[in-house]
Amino acid sequence: MQQPVRIAPSILSADFAQLGAEVTAIDRAGADWIHVDVMDGHFVPNITIGPAVVKALRRHTAKPFDVHLMIAPVDPYLALFAEAGADTISVHPEAGPHLHRSLQAIKALGRRAGVVLNPATPVECVVPVLDLIDLVLVMSVNPGFGGQAFIPSALPKIAALRQIIDASGRAIDLEVDGGINRQTIGPVVAAGADVVVAGSASFEGGPSAYPGNLAALRVAAEVVQPAAVCAMDGR
Ligand code: DX5
Ligand code: ZN
């Protein structure tokens, strides 16, 4: 069942020189989760932060940490991110070598487990692991950078996953990440997403703009223009 929309600002678009204050500010502005993008310069062409930074940020908010790992190999680092304070840990099947084993490891650490689907990764790959996951994250950009344009082919993937999740009867969040703004959030939610990552759209304009940025996204999430969905979907 699709849940009420939760917004997960990605701190990738925050001011890295004052990350603690940024996390506190976006929490007070109304963030539901804090999305943490971890990149290794190998699995994706960018380098961000590691478990020490996640741990340091933990005392700046009580909101759930939604940790998106874009690192390979991923298994050796799962325990470090769990200990650092991650609530959900999401992994890419391509980060391998064994998705099922990685998800088992996350659950054994007592954390929520997520699978991330790149734009070219088919939705079917989550079916064999539905019993292990709490979240599916659909990438609507290629991972690595904030501020990229939304890829419309994510929309039919979200709709297909909504059907798969509902048919399973399991409580699995359906999250979307990349290029989310006031134009794209409505179609994404209409397609079936119930968690939305927003980096640039959350942090643009600095701390005084954050409450307005998140409020505008919430309003836009409820407003669906069918014509806009069709246009984005290439129909
Ligand atoms: C991209 C990251 C995203 C990114 C989203 O690899 O996974 O979370 O920060 O940034 P925007 O919302 O600016 O596209
Ligand atoms: Zn992300």
Tens digits of per-residue pLDDT, 131-189?
A: 999 999 999 999 999 999 999 999 999 999 999 999 999 999 999 999 999 999 999 99
pLDDT at 227 over 90: no
Q: What is the pTM of this model?
A: 0.96
Q: Which of 58, 54, 66, 86 is nearest to 10 (CA)?
A: 66
With the CA atoms of 221, 223, 226 and 231 taken in that order, what torsion angle do they form, in degrees rounded to the nearest 10? -60
Mean pLDDT of the chain: 96
Tokens of 72: 């390979």
pLDDT of residue 155: 98
| Region of 199 on the Ramachandran plot (φ > 0 left; ψ -120 to 50 alpha; else beta) | alpha
Share of the chain above pLDDT 70, in %: 95
Query: For the chain, first and last CA: distance in Å?
Result: 26
Q: Identify whether 177 is a catalytic site residue.
A: yes
| Domains identified in the chain and CATH numbers | 6-233 (3.20.20.70)
Q: How far apart are CA 210 and CA 115, in angstroms?
A: 28
pLDDT at 235 over 70: no
Judged by its nearest atom, the ligand closest to the C-alpha of residue 145 is 1
pLDDT at 231 over 70: no
Check 32, 40, 134, 177 and give the catalytic one.
177
Helix/strand/coil for 153: coil
Any atom of ligand 1 within 6 Å of the Cβ of 207: no
